[in-house]
């Protein structure tokens, strides 16, 4: 078989397994502004030549490449994994690649070193090779000082009358190597076959504390605005509002999800739309658009962002049902098909039909809804059940919104199959709900958080550890009472950089509508409550939020390391960022005192003996590498220890 007919011979250098990379580069990895991105690749070639490599990167909108040197990360094993890093200092989509080349001069120098070490006497031929390499290097060098150094070295190496030791010393001089490497020959370099991308978001995509409330239970939008200063004092970064739109009358649900509403029942906010408007209207009892914009402004002044629910569904009274009947599913007999997920039935809600022949106009209408609220100051959307809509739609919509509103964030409320949850994150959702709510044992928590933090998902999936929601009252909270509320708060707030609570959590609300149900009795989804920011857990919530803000280690996910406790009723883990190290120990038993040890491994990089301060109690203790005794009980559910 004849040799392949190529204009250039095949590349000798191989570059593979680049990271971070999501689905072979189909989707960008995710980072936040200020992160130092570590990029890596396997780089090797046939033979024993010395290689050099750089990571090249380009900021959003820039045509100029910057680069940083890459180094072998397992050089002691003569391995092939190389890494480099750069800081992403602006939001948007960054591009990066890897370029590698053979360092002919370093290869020649290494050969000289080895021959000298083995006692070879005559290196005249080898030195002549060095002369040729230096001459070529001098020709391509623009720096005058480097050029003079190379020319002088070439002259000495080529001078047969000069003493051999002097010529060898010149050949191996470190300054000469540095000069040549500052002016490399990349004419036959190899680059990654495809450039890779990184989506860089603002910090709130990675770190924040959420509070969820129903405005109708707080006196409408003006009543909510009055709570903003206290929410800010409690340390919340995001205030999430369920749908604030008009609520349909047809098939309206009553208290506790009753099929027939009694007079005065307000209905579910997720049954969106009536004769006054749909997704771009406000429920008149909540206030006006001016009230909404005032709420946003008040929140922003206090450092709080407003997150709004985006639920793609309609009541039977939504204007779209008459204006665009083709957007909805009908049975063969012509009746509308309401939403259901047996055994759950939502007789007051109708899903839109994404298979409609008029799907393009439907997509545009939904984009218009999101843009409408962006124009009124909404920066975050909590998306209801995104897993029941096409992935292609979400990828398109998020990209379109962020063209005009690049700081907009989207949270996927999808408690569904793992593959779908992961894919939603890949197509653009900046945060995602998780299975944390149902992970209760030590083994479950360690396995799940490890998967999120270091199982590959860390490059695209940002968890939001809501400890409860209006739909989820777990058995742990129902049975565990106040101690379990406290421990779940600490776990959610320290395991994940982003966590949230739904109002009522601070007051230990835990009565189910019936035994074994995760639905609350007298659920706020179907009735108006009289809410206020009171409750015995508020002091701990405030303290936790302050601790999170003051300790960078708690603002990241991929820095977690679980520690041994020798007691499955205790879970311990460490997080480290720079010189900030936090060791958390939390009891999983809401009823009994539990004792054990926390095993601090040498790999954590701490001193043999060190002082820790409990950020919850203010006490200080002497700890050491190895085993450290701990005791927790229902009245003291956690230690949060900062290493001094």
Is 399 within 8 Å of 411 (Cβ atoms)?
no
Asked whether residue 5 carries a pLDDT value surpassing 90, the answer given is no
pLDDT tens track for 457-513: 999 999 999 999 999 999 999 999 999 999 999 999 999 999 999 999 999 999 999
**What stretches of 463-515 adopt beta strand conformation (E)?**
464-466, 498-502
pLDDT band per the 50, 70, 90 thresholds, residue 346? confident
For residue 374, pLDDT over 70 is answered with yes
> How many helices (H) does the chain have, and how many strands (E)?
14, 30
In the chain the domains, ranked by start, together with CATH numbers, are 13-101+192-200 (2.60.40.10), 105-181 (1.20.58.80), 216-226+242-312+357-536 (3.20.20.80), 560-643 (2.60.40.1180)
Residue-wise pLDDT tens digits, 58-69 = 999 999 999 999
Residue 332 has pLDDT above 90, yes or no: no
Could you give the 3-state DSSP secondary structure of residue 454?
A: helix
- For the chain, what is the radius of gyration of the CA atoms? 31
pLDDT digits (tens, 9 = 90+) for 612-621: 999 999 999 9
Question: CA angle 414-418-419, nearest 5°?
Answer: 105
CB 157 within 8 A of CB 170: yes
Q: Exposed/middle/buried for 472, CB within 10 Å: 0-12, 13-18, 19+? A: middle
Calculate mean pLDDT across residues 92-120. Answer: 94
pLDDT given at position 483: 98
Length of the chain: 644
pLDDT of 341 higher than 90: no
**How do residues 527-555 score in pLDDT, each as one tens digit?**
999 999 999 999 999 999 999 999 999 99
640 DSSP β-pair partners: 584
Mean pLDDT of the region 356-360: 96
pLDDT confidence of residue 330 = 84
Q: Pick from 342, 322, 149, 355: which is nearest to 248 by CA?
A: 322
Cα–Cα distance, 357 to 351 (Å, whole number) = 16
Nearest of 603, 598, 476, 492 to residue 545 by alpha carbon: 492
Q: Which two tokens stand for residue 220?
A: 């409408």
Q: Among the options 291, 348, 384, 506, which is catalytic?
A: 384
Phi, psi of 413 (to 5 degrees): -95, 85
Given this model, what pLDDT does residue 121 score? Answer: 82
Q: How far apart are alpha carbons 245 and 269 in whole angstroms?
A: 7
The answer for 61, left when phi > 0, alpha when psi is -120 to 50, beta otherwise, is: left
Residue 111 has pLDDT above 70, yes or no: yes
pLDDT band for position 342 (cuts 50, 70, 90)? confident
185-189 own/partner pairs: CB under 8 Å, 24+ apart: 185/101, 185/104, 185/136, 185/137, 185/140, 186/99, 186/101, 188/101, 188/102, 189/13, 189/99, 189/100, 189/101
Burial class (CB in 10 A: 0-12, 13-18, 19+), 246: buried
What is the average per-residue pLDDT within 239-256?
A: 97
Alpha carbons 76 and 101: distance in angstroms, whole number: 21
The mean predicted confidence, pLDDT, of the chain is 95
Q: Does 384 participate in catalysis according to the annotation?
A: yes
Q: Which of 46-50, 261-265, 384-388 has the lowest mean pLDDT?
A: 46-50
**pLDDT tier for residue 371 given thresholds of 50, 70 and 90:** very high
Known catalytic residue at 317: no
At residue 78 the predicted structure's pLDDT band, cuts being 50, 70 and 90, is low
- In this predicted structure, the answer to whether residue 113 has a pLDDT above a threshold of 80 is yes
Burial class (CB in 10 A: 0-12, 13-18, 19+), 263: exposed
Confidence of residue 77 (pLDDT cuts 50, 70, 90): low
Highest mean pLDDT among 21-35, 74-88, 152-166: 21-35
Instruction: Report whether pLDDT(76) > 70.
Output: no
> What number is the average pLDDT over the span 212-239?
98
Pair 412, 425: CB distance under 8 Å: yes
Percent of the chain scoring above 70 in pLDDT: 99
- Residue 57: phi and psi, rounded to 5, are -145, 155
Checking if the pLDDT of 331 tops 90, the result is: no
Q: Indicate the pLDDT class of residue 75, thresholds 50, 70 and 90.
A: low
pLDDT number for residue 80: 92
Give the global pTM.
0.94
- Taking residues 206-224, report their average pLDDT: 98
Closest by CA position to 638, among listed 441, 440, 487: 487
Amino acid 4: pLDDT: 73
Convert the pLDDT of each residue in 601-637 to its tens digit.
Answer: 999 999 999 999 999 999 999 999 999 999 999 999 9
* CB proximity list for 22: less than 8 A, separation 6 or greater: 28, 29, 426, 459, 460
Instruction: Tally Cβ neighbours within 10 Å of residue 625.
Output: 17
Q: 212, 413, 476, 506: which is the annotated catalytic residue?
A: 413
């Amino acid at each position: 078989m004849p040799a392949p007919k190529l204009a250039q011979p095949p590349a000798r250098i191989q570059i593979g397994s680049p990271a971070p990379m999501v689905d072979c580069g189909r989707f960008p990895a995710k980072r936040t502004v200020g992160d130092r991105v570590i990029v890596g690749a396997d780089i090797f070639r046939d033979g024993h030549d010395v290689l050099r490599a750089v990571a090249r990167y380009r900021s959003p909108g820039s045509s100029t490449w910057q680069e940083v040197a890459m180094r072998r990360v397992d050089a002691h094993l003569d391995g092939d994994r190389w890494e480099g890093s750069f800081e992403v200092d602006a939001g948007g989509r960054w591009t990066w690649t890897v370029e590698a080349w053979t360092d002919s001069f370093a290869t020649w120098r290494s050969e000289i070193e080895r021959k000298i070490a083995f006692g070879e006497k005559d290196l005249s031929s080898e030195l002549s090779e060095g002369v040729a390499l230096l001459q070529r290097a001098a020709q391509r060098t623009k720096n005058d000082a480097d050029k003079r150094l190379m020319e002088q070295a070439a002259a000495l190496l080529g001078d047969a009358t000069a003493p051999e030791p002097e010529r060898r010393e010149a050949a191996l001089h470190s300054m000469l190597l540095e000069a040549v490497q500052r002016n490399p020959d990349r004419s036959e370099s190899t680059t990654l076959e495809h450039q890779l991308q990184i989506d860089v978001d603002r910090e709130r995509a990675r770190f924040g504390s959420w509070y969820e409330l129903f405005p109708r239970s707080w006196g409408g939008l003006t009543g909510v605005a009055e709570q903003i200063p206290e929410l800010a004092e409690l340390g919340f970064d995001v205030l999430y509002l369920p749908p604030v739109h008009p609520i349909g009358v047809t098939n309206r649900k009553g208290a506790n999800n009753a099929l027939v509403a009694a007079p005065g029942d307000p209905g579910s906010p997720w049954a969106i739309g009536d004769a006054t408007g749909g997704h771009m209207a406000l429920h008149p009892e909540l206030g006006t658009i001016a009230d909404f914009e005032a709420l946003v402004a008040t929140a922003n002044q206090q450092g709080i962002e407003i997150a709004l629910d985006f639920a793609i569904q309609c009541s039977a009274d939504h204007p779209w049902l008459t204006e665009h009947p083709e957007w909805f599913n009908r049975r063969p007999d012509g009746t509308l098909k309401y939403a259901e997920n047996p055994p759950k039935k939502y007789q007051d809600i109708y899903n839109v039909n994404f298979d409609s022949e008029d799907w393009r106009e439907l997509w545009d209408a939904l984009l218009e809804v999101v843009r409408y609220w962006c124009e009124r100051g909404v920066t975050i959307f909590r998306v209801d059940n995104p897993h029941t809509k096409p992935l292609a739609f979400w990828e398109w919509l998020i990209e379109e919104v962020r063209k005009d509103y690049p700081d907009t964030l989207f949270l996927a409320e999808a408690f569904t199959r793992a593959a779908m949850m992961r894919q939603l994150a890949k197509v653009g959702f900046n945060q995602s709900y998780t299975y944390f709510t149902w992970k209760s044992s030590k083994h479950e928590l360690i396995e799940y958080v490890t998967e999120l933090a270091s199982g590959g998902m860390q490059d695209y999936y940002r968890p939001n550890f809501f400890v409860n929601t209006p739909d989820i009252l777990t058995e742990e909270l129902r049975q565990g009472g106040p101690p379990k509320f406290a421990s779940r708060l600490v776990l959610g707030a320290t395991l994940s950089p982003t966590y949230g609570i739904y109002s009522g959590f601070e007051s230990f609300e835990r009565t189910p509508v019936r035994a074994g149900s995760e639905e609350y009795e007298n659920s706020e989804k179907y009735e108006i409550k009289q809410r206020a920011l009171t409750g015995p857990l508020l002091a701990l919530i405030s303290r936790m939020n302050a601790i999170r803000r003051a300790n960078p280690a708690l603002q990241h996910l991929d820095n977690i390391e679980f520690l041994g406790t020798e007691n499955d009723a205790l879970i311990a883990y460490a997080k480290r960022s720079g010189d900030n190290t936090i060791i958390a120990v939390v009891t999983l038993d809401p009823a009994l005192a539990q004792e054990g040890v926390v095993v601090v491994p040498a790999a954590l990089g701490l001193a043999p003996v060190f002082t820790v301060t409990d950020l919850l109690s203010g006490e200080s203790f002497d700890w050491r590498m190895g085993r450290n005794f701990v005791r927790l009980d229902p009245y003291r559910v956690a230690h949060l220890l900062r290493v001094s």
